[in-house]
Amino acid sequence: MADLTLIEAVNLALARALEDDPDVVLIGQDIGVNGGVFRATGGLAARFGEERVRDTPLAETVIAASAVGMAVEGMKPVAEIQFAGFMYSCFDQLINHAGRLRTRTRGRLTCPMVLRTPVGGGIHAPEHHSESPEGWLAHIPGIKVVTPSTPAAAYGLLLAAIRDPDPVVFLEPTRLYRMLKEPVADDGAALPLGRAFVRREGADITLVSWGATLVEVGQAAQTLAERGVSAEVVDVATLRPLDSATLLASVSKTGRCLIVHEAPRLFGAGAEIAAQVASEALMSLVAPVGRLAGYDTVMPLARLEDDYLPSAARIVAAAEALMAYR
């Protein structure tokens, strides 16, 4: 079993999907010969042919729309949007078409497509390259929203997304692409969508997060442990449909909940989780539900980026504030 980075795991899953299913086709900008700007599709055009790993013109709307058309016609398109900040023109396709074709045709037509895009800050990229759009996406009925936090999760969740009968937006944390390696088996095994994963068990407080922020959450949990606080870390992984049961079970056990995400706090995905915890696990709570998120502002440019993102120190402080409730 090879040690892989997250981007290598994405590449491995795409190769596996192309190998297993002739209906799988990749489309996107610079994904062919160039292998994608992050090399997610590196080597795939040479191996599977340019008809299956197909460069598109520089036009995000028609990339998403073509994926819808291909999916309705029975293929399994995996479209890449180069950066999340460039996917906003695809929202028309996701909201008006991908998410509602099954409903509005009463199941006659379906849309088994995947839209992949790198998300989040932390690599000091140019403007519009560090967005966290998961909250907007998770508000769309009929869409699934998935974000992996480890190489193995990226492999298993991406395979699940490609095999899923409904449209999936797959958000790949840019910051994690080459940050860490772990063993990933190319066994073709998918991980379940709609399932949250307990990444660390604990008794005193539940830290809920997803994607790249789980790195800082993990560091914070370690610091908290050294200070005598046992934190449980839950990786949401699939924001829509949300695995409320796992989240509520954890909070019911610990009695405290801190939700950490990179996107702005106001009307973010953390608000929905906080509301569910408040209404479904109220009697278990010994502290108010906490949220630590990006500031409610525009994602800053590179120089202020690190100060915007939730840091391990700020997560520890927020957790300790909740621990003060007895």
Partner 1 sequence: MKTAAQFSVSYHQFLNAKGALAEPPPGLDLPALVPVYRTMAFTRAFDARAVALQRTGQLRTFPSSLGEEAATVGLASVMRPDDVLLPTYRETGAFLWRGVTPVEIFLYWAGDERGSAIAGPRGDFPISVPIASHCGHATGVAAAFQYRKEARVAVCVLGDGATSKGDFYEAVNLAGVWRLPAVFVVINNRWAISVPAARQTACATFAQKAIAGGVPGVQADGNDAVAVRHVVGQALERARSGEGPTVVELLSYRLTDHTTADDARRYRSADEVSAAWAEEPLVRLRALLAREGLWTKADEEALIADNQARLEAAVADYLATPPQPLTSMVDYLYAELPAELVAQRAELAAREGGHHG
For residue 282, state whether it binds partner 1 (rule: CB under 8 A): no
Choose the stretch contacting partner 1; rule: CB under 8 A; options: 50-58, 169-177, 258-266, 313-321.
Answer: 50-58
Bridge pairing between strands 231-235 and 197-200: antiparallel
List the x/- string, 158-197, binding to partner 1 by CB under 8 A. Answer: ------xxx---------------------------x---
Site for partner 1, residues 216 to 245, rule: CB under 8 A: 241-245
- Give the DSSP per-residue string, 160-226: HHHH-SS-EEEEEEGGGTTT--EEE--S-PPPPTT--EEEE--SSEEEEE-TTHHHHHHHHHHHHHH
- Joined tokens for residue 32: 């062919």
Query: Which run of H or E residues covers position 168?
Result: strand 168-173
> Taking the complex as a whole, how short is the minimal distance between the CB of residue 81 and partner 1, in angstroms?
14
For residue 67, state whether it binds partner 1 (rule: CB under 8 A): yes
Selected binder of partner 1 within 142, 173, 218, 268 (CB under 8 A): 142
For residue 284, state whether it binds partner 1 (rule: CB under 8 A): no
Of 69 and 300, CB closest to partner 1: 69
> Taking the complex as a whole, how short is the minimal distance between the CB of residue 299 and partner 1, in angstroms?
25
- Joined tokens for residue 53: 């790993």
> Taking the complex as a whole, how short is the minimal distance between the CB of residue 101 and partner 1, in angstroms?
8
Q: Is-catalytic flag, 124?
A: no
Using CA atoms of 57, 59, 65, 71 in order, give the dihedral in degrees to the nearest 10.
40
Task: Say how far apart CA 16 and CA 125 lie, in whole Å.
Answer: 30
User: What is residue 311's DSSP assignment?
Assistant: P
Of 166 and 204, CB closest to partner 1: 166
- Give the distance, in angstroms, between the CA of residue 215 and the centroid of all CA atoms in the same chain: 14
For residue 34, state whether it binds partner 1 (rule: CB under 8 A): no
Choose the stretch contacting partner 1; rule: CB under 8 A; options: 10-18, 37-45, 57-65, 207-215.
Answer: 57-65
Selected binder of partner 1 within 108, 282, 307, 326 (CB under 8 A): 108
For residue 279, state whether it binds partner 1 (rule: CB under 8 A): no
Q: Helix, strand, or coil here: 263?
A: strand
Selected binder of partner 1 within 30, 39, 42, 56 (CB under 8 A): 56
Cβ atoms < 10 Å from Cβ of 288: 13
Task: Say how far apart CA 6 and CA 45 lie, in whole Å.
Answer: 20
Using CA atoms of 8, 46, 162, 16 in order, give the dihedral in degrees to the nearest 10.
-70
Residues 6+ apart with CB under 8 A from 78: 14, 17, 24, 25, 26, 27, 67, 113, 114, 116, 162
Of 220 and 259, CB closest to partner 1: 259
> Taking the complex as a whole, how short is the minimal distance between the CB of residue 182 and partner 1, in angstroms?
29
215, 251 Cβ separation under 8 angstroms: no
Site for partner 1, residues 70 to 99, rule: CB under 8 A: 70-75, 77, 92-93, 96-97
Query: Which run of H or E residues covers position 273?
Result: helix 269-280
For residue 118, report the phi and psi dihedrals to the nearest 5 degrees. -75, 140
In the set 124, 128, 129, 261, the catalytic residue is 129
Task: Say how far apart CA 149 and CA 153 lie, in whole Å.
Answer: 6
Choose the stretch contacting partner 1; rule: CB under 8 A; options: 2-10, 53-61, 125-133, 174-182.
Answer: 53-61
Which amino acid, one-letter code, is at 69?
A: G
Selected binder of partner 1 within 2, 59, 203, 317 (CB under 8 A): 59
Of 79 and 215, CB closest to partner 1: 79
Provide the binding-site residues for partner 1, judged by CB under 8 A.
25, 51-52, 54, 56-57, 59, 61-62, 64-75, 77, 92-93, 96-97, 101-110, 141-142, 144, 164-166, 194, 241-245
Q: What positions carry a catalytic annotation?
A: 129
